[in-house]
Amino acid sequence: MNSEIVGKNILDTEITHISSHGIWLFTENQEFFMPYDDFPWFQNATLKDILFVEQPSLGHFYWPNLDVDLSIEIIQNPQRFPLMSA
């Protein structure tokens, strides 16, 4: 008998915790904290919008309802990617 995996593993990436300080993203057996000071787009977002995260490619995360794109590098080193507004 041959077992075949059908579909995509939807548990690869998820938000595991939301607090008054930030959110935790779990992916690839690692958890990353994203404080609102560095990632302000999430602070006033709805729970539904925060939880709806996609991983279009390895190490790249997208929140379609918030139009936020982040990479592992940005999450781990936010000081290297200062927030700027036009």
Run of H or E residues at 50: helix 47-51
pLDDT of residue 86: 46
Q: What is the per-residue pLDDT for 82?
A: 85
Radius of gyration of the chain (CA): 14
Alpha-carbon distances of 32 from 5, 10, 16, rounded to whole Å: 28, 18, 10
Q: What is the pLDDT of residues 13-55, one digit of tens each?
A: 999 999 999 999 999 899 999 999 999 999 999 999 999 999 9
Q: Which residues contact 17 (CB under 8 A, 6 or more apart)?
A: 23, 24
Q: pLDDT: is 12 or 66 the higher one? A: 66
**34 is written with which tokens?**
């994203």
- The whole-model pTM stands at 0.80
Please name which of 86, 61, 66, 64 lies closest in space to residue 76, comparing C-alpha atoms: 61
Residue 83: predicted pLDDT: 79
